[in-house]
C-alpha cells in the first residue's frame, strides 16, 4: 500500500467556520507533511512532523493548526480562514533515516473559503 | 539552502515528438533529485528519482532524466510523447537529512498537440 489518503476531497467553508482536513498513510512512514498549492504554482511547505512531533513550521499563520495524533494520521485544523487561503492542500509522507528519499503525496483537499 | 529553477513555464509539443524539460538546481550539500508529475485536479506522483550511482534514471512510462553534477542539471526527456503526458511537471530536491524540506521548482506545463 503506497497510498496517502486525504479527506475530504473538496471543502467549502465560511470565514467563521472551523473545519479539519485529514490525512492517513499505512506505509510506516514517520515523517508527514502539509503543503499548500495555489493555482499554477508549485506546492509550498507548511509543516513537517517527525516521529509525531512538529519539526518544521514555515511561519504559517495560527489559523492553521496541525496535529499528528499517531504515526498514521495527520490533521490540519482550520479556523477563521481568509478567502486567500483557498488552495489545494496536499499531505505527504516519507520514511526516515537512510530510507528517507521520496515523499508520497495524497490527492489533496481543494479548499474554498467564502 | 537549496533552490530549483525550471526555465520553461510551458512547453507545447506535437504528439509523438521528443521533449526535454529543463531543471537546474543549486545546493551546497549533496541532494536527492526528483521529478514529480501532476495531472489536472490531482496530487503529485513521483515520476523518477536520482539518489546515487548511474546518472541516467528511467521511469516506467518512457521518461528519463540525467543527473549532470558539473552543470547542476537534471533535465527530463522523452523521445515520443503522447496526449496522456499532458500535465504539470515539477523538478524537486531535498538534502540527505531526515524529514527535510522538499524544494520544488516552479513547474513546467507540458501540453501535447495532436
Interface with chain A: mutation pick from B33, B37, B44, highest number of A CBs within 10 Å: B44
Task: For residue A36, give the C-alpha cell.
Answer: 499548500
Comparing B92 with A102, the larger pLDDT belongs to: B92
Instruction: Name which of A103, A108, A110 is nearest B102 (Cβ-Cβ).
Output: A103
Chain B contact residues (CB < 8 Å to A): 32, 34, 36, 41-46, 49, 51, 90, 98-102, 104-107
Interface with chain B: mutation pick from A25, A41, A43, highest number of B CBs within 10 Å: A43
Hey, are the CB atoms on B99 and A45 less than 8 Å from each other? Answer: no
Interface with chain A: mutation pick from B9, B34, B36, B99, highest number of A CBs within 10 Å: B99
Quickly state the pLDDT bin for B6 (edges 50, 70, 90). very high
Task: For residue B2, give the C-alpha cell.
Answer: 537549496
Interface contact A71, partner B, CB < 8 A: no
Contacts of B46 in chain A (CB under 8 A): 102, 104
pLDDT at B83 over 80: yes
Distance CA(A61)–CA(B41), nearest Å, equals 26
Task: For residue B24, give the C-alpha cell.
Answer: 537546474
Nearest alpha carbon to residue B88 among B50, B40, B56: B40
Distance CA(B20)–CA(B75), nearest Å, equals 7
Nearest alpha carbon to residue B74 among B64, B85, B65: B65
Task: Report yes or no: B20 and B75 within 8 Å, Cβ to Cβ.
Answer: yes
The per-residue pLDDT for B96 is: 73
The per-residue pLDDT for A98 is: 66
pLDDT 10s digit of each residue in chain A, 114 long?
Answer: 669 999 999 999 999 999 999 999 999 999 999 999 999 899 999 999 999 999 999 999 999 999 999 999 999 999 999 999 999 999 999 987 766 678 999 999 999 999
The residue length of chain B stands at 114
Amino acid at each position: 500500500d503506497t497510498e496517502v489518503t486525504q479527506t475530504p476531497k473538496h471543502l467549502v467553508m465560511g470565514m467563521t467556520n472551523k473545519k479539519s482536513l485529514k490525512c492517513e498513510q499505512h506505509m510506516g512512514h514517520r515523517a508527514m507533511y502539509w503543503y499548500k498549492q495555489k493555482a499554477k504554482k508549485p506546492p509550498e511547505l507548511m509543516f513537517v512532523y517527525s516521529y509525531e512531533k512538529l519539526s518544521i513550521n514555515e511561519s504559517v499563520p495560527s489559523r492553521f493548526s496541525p496535529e499528528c495524533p499517531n504515526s498514521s494520521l495527520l490533521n490540519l485544523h482550520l479556523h477563521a480562514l481568509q478567502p486567500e487561503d483557498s488552495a489545494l492542500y496536499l499531505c505527504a509522507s516519507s520514511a526516515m533515516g537512510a530510507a528517507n528519499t521520496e515523499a508520497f503525496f495524497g490527492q489533496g483537499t481543494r479548499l474554498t473559503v467564502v | 539552502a537549496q533552490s530549483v529553477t525550471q526555465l520553461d513555464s510551458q512547453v507545447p509539443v506535437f504528439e509523438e515528438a521528443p521533449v526535454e524539460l529543463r531543471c537546474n538546481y543549486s545546493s551546497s550539500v549533496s541532494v536527492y533529485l526528483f521529478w514529480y508529475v501532476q495531472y489536472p485536479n490531482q496530487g503529485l506522483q513521483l515520476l523518477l528519482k536520482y539518489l546515487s550511482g548511474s546518472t541516467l534514471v528511467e521511469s516506467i512510462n518512457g521518461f528519463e532524466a540525467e543527473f549532470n553534477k558539473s552543470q547542476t542539471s537534471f533535465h527530463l526527456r522523452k523521445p515520443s510523447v503522447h496526449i496522456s503526458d499532458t500535465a504539470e511537471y515539477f523538478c524537486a530536491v531535498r538534502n540527505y537529512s531526515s524529514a527535510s524540506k522538499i524544494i520544488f521548482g516552479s513547474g513546467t506545463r507540458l501540453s501535447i498537440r495532436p
